Homo-oligomer: A and B are copies of this chain.
Amino acid sequence: MASAPHLLNALKERNVRLTRQRRVVLDALAVSGNHVRAEDLLREGRKRDPNLDRATVYRTLAMLKEHGLIDELDLLHLDGRGHYYEMRGHQDHVHIGCTECGRVTELHSPIVQALLDEVASHTGFRATSARIEVQARCPECAGGNAREQR
């Protein structure tokens, strides 16, 4: 439990009401890895509160997103039409998805910040977050023609 102390504290500071259900969703977020779908969170959360409702999960995700505490991705819809969520870390990173095998890799790079600076200086928009999703072929799929499974 309390597996997401950072988020819990952030919500307290912002005077967001801490309901049992919200704690459950936060726990589910912490337990699941990155790139979780809403339905996964619902299933995971119901292990702790079997009455947890689909709408509550969506409403909680929307709230967390508004507060900038999670990011929403769709990983280029390489697999289905849903969206994915992950807790926001210290800095934005790049998501790279292979169009053939579906593998997703992350890359942290200072160039991301450089890009945001460029955005600010050229357009005057002050960025609050960035989503960078690169479509690619991974070394395995590009090299041999070995078919991987997903």
Contact = CB atoms under 8 A, between A and B. Distances in A.
B96 A131 contact: no
A47 to B, nearest CB: 27
A122 B150 contact: no
A148 B6 CA distance: 19
A110 to B, nearest CB: 9
A128 B137 contact: yes
A76 interface: yes
B137 A130 contact: no
A119 interface: yes
Number of this chain's copies in the complex? 2
Nearest to A92: B134
A126 B130 contact: no
Interface string A84-100: 00000000001010110
Q: How large is the interface on A (under 10, 10 to 19, 20 to 34, 35 or more residues)?
A: 35 or more
Contacts of A116: 134
A127 interface: yes
Contact of A119 (B122, B134, B149, B150): B134
Contacts of A137: 125-126, 128
A65 to B, nearest CB: 9
A129 interface: yes
Interface in A111-131: 111-112, 114-116, 118-119, 122-131
Given A128-B149, A130-B135, A150-B68, A118 B123 contact: no
